[in-house]
Amino acid sequence: METQYQGSGYRLPEYPFETPPEIIEGVSKRYRVVIVGGGLAGLSVACDLATRGISTVLLDDDNTIGVRGLASRGITYAQKSLEIFERLGIYDRVKAKGVEWSHGKTLADNDVVYSFDLAATRLSKQPPFINIQQFYIEWFLVDRIYELGVTDLRWSNKVVGVQELSDCIRLDVETPAGQYHLEADWVLDASGVNSPIREGLNLPIHPARGQDRWCISDIRFKLDAPLERWTWIEAPFNENRAVWQLPMGDGVWRLDYQMDANADLDAVSNEGVVRSRLGQQLGEDREFELVWVGLYAYRTQLLDNMRHGRVFFLGDAAHVMSPFGGRGGNSGIQDAENLSWKLAMVLNGHAPQSLLDSYQAERHPAAIHNIKTTSRTTRFLSPQSNAERILRDAVIALAREFAFARPLVNTGRMSVAFQYDTSPLITHAGNAVQNVPLVSSGGTQGSLLDLFAGKNCFLAVWFSEHGLTPKQIKLVKSLQIEETNLHWYIYSSIGRNSIELMDRGGGLKQALGVVNDCVCLIRPDMHLAAKIENPSASSIRIALRKSMALEI
Amino acid sequence: MKLDPNIADPDGLYEALVNAHAGLSDQESVALNARLVFLLANQIGEPTILYDCINSALRSVHKNNGRGE
């Protein structure tokens, strides 16, 4: 994405460069984990590992957040990401700064031809979406990483070379104080679309570019529209091309305009042209402040393997997709969470290195799914032939009149957590479990996340209508001793350790889809690892060990 | 996908289609057919049947144009 106009913008923090110990002492050092890139994915994985007690070195080529200026980039953070923010300890700040929403509408003239409201399926403490400028998320993550105090954040450290050695990765780093190199057992590459590491290792990404161009105009003004996602496919105030209207923090709105495929890019993003286009939509007499203007084009790319030996690729370094539905940023955050709990378990000696193979097995299908989903949206928004336009016109015309055609209108399918049902770690499950609110016997408000008690562990919840038999209680006790990565809860109104009383609305049962007595194993990333009916010691142990890639 | 006769009143259906297109420009006819496709698809709903129908229709077009399989 390219910044065309730096408007009145925002003031972003700048972080000090400190001369690295390698340069001061004149020696190379070896680290367990080095993260490259301080964007959404890099900061998320640094923060996530820090909360699990793993110290890392993070190299960022800049000295601020928001990448070279004030690029707003991602703005929509979906429920799964918000739940991750809650666990990382930044959710309250995100909620205070951002705009909660759940309702989206697609309009043709004044007719609503498609709408969705995800509030109806919400069981989580977190809302379906919060819109907020991406740099705020990064800012809060940096603050939190400093607060946790175990991460070596190195600003203005630019990776310029990568080399695979027999038992580690060597990175060459350029800084204002000169060049140095360091060695890492594991490198987590979150350095974005143009990753120097991916390029240095010569890994193909199969790039494809679209013809369509969009011009983002972030503006600050008072708009009486509801806090919803509105999209027009054929907006009369944009020469019958698409327009997006989304609220975000600080009273700023994002208006995103589809440009003519043959448009002169300098001309369409010229400040005067941008202002006149805004005037057409908002009314000529409307006062507004231009915060930021940027252009982007569709682009997709994907690594065949998101792991290359000791290097893991996260976020845009691994996959790039069109922005519809907020799938880019949200999937980077989920990459980070998926890798963090696994890497922490491996580094702490609780799981074998083969657990790390499941990062590719789980996140690569998620990336394929996201690219497929966003590519379908781009195809709807930019018909590539006369026949495609005829089909789309038919859909829009029918959708004005008939409800049946509305689901065919595609202005983006919003990001939802991916279901890992093909993962080798999963036993007939894999869906994300929503962060259901729970209330303690003392009346304290909490949620499912609190049951992890800050540990990098699995939850086992035994749903038992009539309470556990003495034999079953004995089974739980013996598993508590044998399997230290498992926290047990009994879901029954009878007996100790009961969480049924905490689940007053029955949301947890609903979130887990529990009908009969069973044991549910919930992973540290709140995905359901297994649902075991007729549980026995061996079936529980097998499911747990499978989900940690341990030998059964 | 059904390939045996299933239309209760074939002559009546054909007449209704022809009548619907009568007096329309080529562009309007194409628009009518596109709308019909979506309306009929919604009556069927089942993806495998719909994809079979799409593939069979496409094969028929290719055959008529001598493209074969």
Q: Are A394 and B34 an interchain contact pair (Cβ–Cβ within 8 Å)?
A: yes
CA A28 to chain B, closest CA, distance in angstroms equals 59
Cα R_g (chain A), whole angstroms: 25
**Predicted TM-score (pTM) of this structure:** 0.95
A interface mutation test: which of B35, B44, B54, B61 has the most A CBs within 10 A? B35
CB contact under 8 A, A394 and B31: yes
pLDDT by residue, tens only, chain A of 552 residues = 455 555 556 778 899 999 999 999 999 999 999 999 999 999 999 999 999 999 999 999 999 887 655 555 889 999 999 999 999 999 999 999 999 999 999 998 778 999 999 898 999 999 999 999 999 999 999 999 999 999 999 999 999 999 999 999 999 999 999 999 999 999 999 999 999 999 999 999 999 988 888 999 999 887 777 889 999 999 999 999 999 999 999 889 999 999 988 888 788 888 888 888 888 888 888 888 888 888 888 889 999 999 999 999 999 999 999 989 999 999 999 999 999 999 999 999 999 999 999 999 999 999 999 999 999 999 999 999 999 999 999 999 999 999 999 999 999 999 999 999 999 999 888 999 999 999 877 778 899 999 998 899 999 999 998 888 999 999 999 999 998 899 999 898 766 556 777 888 899 999 999 999 999 999 999 999 999 999 999 999 999 999 999 988
Which two tokens mark B46?
Answer: 């089942």
Residue with tokens 């399997």, as numbered in its chain: A483
A549: left (phi over 0), alpha (psi -120 to 50) or beta: left
The pLDDT of residue A2 = 53
Q: Quick check: A404 contacting B, CB < 8 Å?
A: yes
Q: Is A414 in contact with A330 (CB distance < 8 Å)?
A: no
**Cα A361 to the center of its chain, rounded Å:** 17
Q: Which of A330, A204, A217, A340 is nearest to A270 (CA)?
A: A217
Instruction: Give the per-residue pLDDT at A263.
Output: 86
Q: How far is A454 from chain B (nearest CA, A)?
A: 45
For A:8-67, CB contacts with B below 8 A are none
Which amino acid, one-letter code, is at A461? V
Residue A271 CA to residue A267 CA, distance in Å, equals 9
pLDDT tens figures, A158-185: 999 999 999 999 999 999 999 999 999 9
How many angstroms separate the CA atoms of A524 and A6, rounded? 41
Given an 8 Å threshold on Cβ–Cβ distance, is A394 in contact with B42?
no
Chain B positions in Cβ-Cβ contact with residue A394 (cut-off 8 Å):
31, 34-35, 37-38
Helix (H, G, I), strand (E, B) or coil at A226: coil
A393: closest CA of chain B, how far (Å): 8
Query: Are the Cβ atoms of B31 and A405 closer than 8 angstroms?
Result: no
